Structure 1
């Protein structure tokens, strides 16, 4: 039986060891400061975040290479977290379809408590490893998949449960935390621990920790998609043109990649059904739309390889 007195005391002791929970005495009277001084202090603290991420770049790169290798074989990238960490994972996953024309099932964001937790706190959800097991079981994980547990503290039961379930299912597991020596890092195959130090508001890990997590998730998804051939240089050649702005951007991307005239670009996009990557191949490779589609299929969507193979 759980001890209602001992449990909070144990948790307080655990939190007391975490850098993300530390109190900054220099900010003890920040509520009395002029607004501009508060903004300057926050900005000064935020400058430490990119440096903390930079210290983990080799680990991030190793994770990306491992994730991309699995996704090239049809695997999925699954983020799992609670609160801010979970919301950031869902955000990153939801941006992949419009940016890279990725199938919505290819990058998945799970948040403790489900969709309702995106806009309001779902009490107790983050404390349930079993809930993470249920959420991941529904996905039918395989050894080609990757589960990234995201938790600022590195001890959130939902994130830990997700990594544990992923490991048992044979998937690659990655732990992203903002404290060293975390339980999440110990449980995962690969660990990224971005230590940003105490938060401006003590314990509010939506601040520096959240920023660090966003930067790392940006890297994981973006570089993985580059490795999967979803870009041509730094151009979003797999962008999905679902509105007027994106149709205009598609035209601009083809122009930047090819230097062709507006009329040539319009014809190529019309011939390829608005597919930017195909249109670029038509213009640079001197092939028709069906041949462009065939070459890209043969080279798993990698435009440079398809161009090299063009007759």
Structure 2
């Protein structure tokens, strides 16, 4: 970790998710929350106190939870479904496909504590498959905020979009990385650092670590571009292809399975439009038990690991 990053304050984005949702609910009576006995872990205690008739707690019944949300959307409400990522996306995958995406209902699915944020609870509680599963479903927008500002923007955008949307809400604390005034548009990446040698494309918890990696590479004479790919679906293919044309290699970093996630989406775009070496960083298999910080380091999902992958990719160019 760089000295700058070590001094930067970090934030639990669940608080920003809950605050923004309550703010929108005060202005729009259509907004409701649906959860699976996860009021506390979703930071919805204050929402329940302020809007007791607009929070539906179905208990530990994720398939029912998504079905109830689809019914509410059909009745004109804008439901935000909030649950731990592995249970929302794993247990209710059929309902997400059939009741939300296929019927194109305006439901916002909020995967809380994604990736390996529940570290010590082990693989049953790790939410590393969600990006792969959600990308396989047509018509579903997929947003992975990198910090508090993007989390709030994602909630606002999803509430107004009219589209079925999946948002990853980080539990692992992250620093603020989004510059003031950054627009938030579907399918639009944000360039956080420019570079000419290699491009680092990251999402969520990996964005701040990609910026740290760019600093490390800079001290080693390597110029690194950093793209925050907030929307995994629709992917900003234009920015990916520009990176392939304007730099020598690409590294992707995500706190999720390597098969089918961000890296797979980027590799497809590169292969179809302008092939260059692509090195994908993520989780290759079920993760062991340990703290979230330990697990990220274990899989090389840190500044040093990203920088090493960039040097490797440049060596293949």
Q: TM-score, normalised by structure 1?
A: 0.35
Higher strand fraction: Structure 1 or Structure 2?
A: 2
Higher helix share: 1
Structure of higher CA gyration radius: 1
